[in-house]
Structure 1
Amino acid sequence: MPQDYNSTINLPKTLFDMRAGLPKKEPEMLKEWNADHLYEELMKHNEGKPRYVLHDGPPYANGNIHMGTALNKIIKDIIVRYKNMTGFQAPYVPGYDTHGLPIELKAMKQLVGKGEISKLELRKVCHEFATEHIDIMGE
């Protein structure tokens, strides 16, 4: 019969759980942070300090999120947090690149075989395509 060694190990006492369980905990943490207006408090704390704004431009809203998109967001997030901690008021200003050739090419793929369309119709399809992917990325 195997012996249970759990009671013989001298583990540090902490309020942190031994298992992260992030998928369950994150929604609760976000709810708490929103209720406490944590972001607004940070901006208020840094009021009057020099402003640093990093407009979060791309990603192109031309498809699903991928590792490059995540890396881009993570690097910008690190920069903004660093600036907030080093004496700046650095608000997070998100955005999407919803114009240009990448979106037009993806939208045109949807139109293959539908014949000639006007420039106005192409713009409408591009707008719908970009808006759809902004919603997906927002989720």
Structure 2
Amino acid sequence: MAQLKRFGFGLQALIVLAIHPDEQLSSSEMADQIRCEPTALRKILSQLREADIIEVRQGRTGGYQLARRPDQITLMQIYAALHDEEPIWDRMLDTTGDHLFGQKVNHAFQQLMGDINTQVTRILGTYTLASLIE
């Protein structure tokens, strides 16, 4: 569930950057605006920087900016940058056992989870950061 919170806060931070394209904002400014713990937001921003979604400049006049235009950043790119755990639905496999019935159900669950992952990827790929601002 933590990954979904990171995704939500990350999206909000990126929206803030997108609506201030000519400014470099500090993590504290963004954290205040989206009501997020600044330390947690800095970790999120670090992951987004590693994925080349945002840029950071150090120093007194530094701050964060988008690395690309909002219409060039898909929600799937953002999700992938902030996603470092298995999706929550993958935990369904933990409920199946090593017995015959559990093995059959496990196979069905794997197919279901594959379909869910495919749809999530497809849907998030059709939205961009710009579509959340409009």
TM-score computed with the length of structure 1 as normaliser? 0.26
Specify which structure has the higher proportion of helix: 2
Q: If you compute each CA radius of gyration, which structure gives the higher value, 1 or 2?
A: 1
TM-score computed with the length of structure 2 as normaliser? 0.27
